[in-house]
Amino acid sequence: MTAEQAVSGALVCCEHRNKKSLFKAKEVRKKLKSAKRLCEECERAAKNGIAPQPSEEVFICVSCGYLTCPAHAKKHWEAARTGEKHPLILGLDNCVIR
């Protein structure tokens, strides 16, 4: 997906394209270099004795590098932070941005 795309004949720009500090390259790069490809919330639940929901897909938050599965992505997006939103995640298997 590109930042600009034609929709119904009109040119539309992604609202997140120019937001400063939205993409935390250092944190994302660090997570991508590690071999770990597990949802951090599922991993935390497993440590507490709760069986994680199996998921083939793993996404990374481009704002903080958090690894998440589809079941926990919305929870991460809605998490209370210091006024920062984390609107974009990248699929590690297919490089799809959501």
The Cα 66–Cα 98 span in angstroms is: 14
Kindly give the confidence (pLDDT) of every residue in the chain, 98 residues in length, as a single tens digit, with 9 standing for 90 and above: 444 444 444 555 666 656 666 666 787 888 888 877 889 999 999 899 888 777 789 999 988 889 999 889 888 888 866 567 777 888 888 888 78
Spell out the domains of the chain, with CATH numbers in brackets. Answer: 20-91 (3.30.40.10)
Query: Could you tell me which residues come within 8 angstroms of residue 73 by beta carbon, excluding any fewer than 6 positions away?
Result: 59, 89, 98
Reduced to 3 states (helix: H, G, I; strand: E, B; else coil), residue 98 is coil
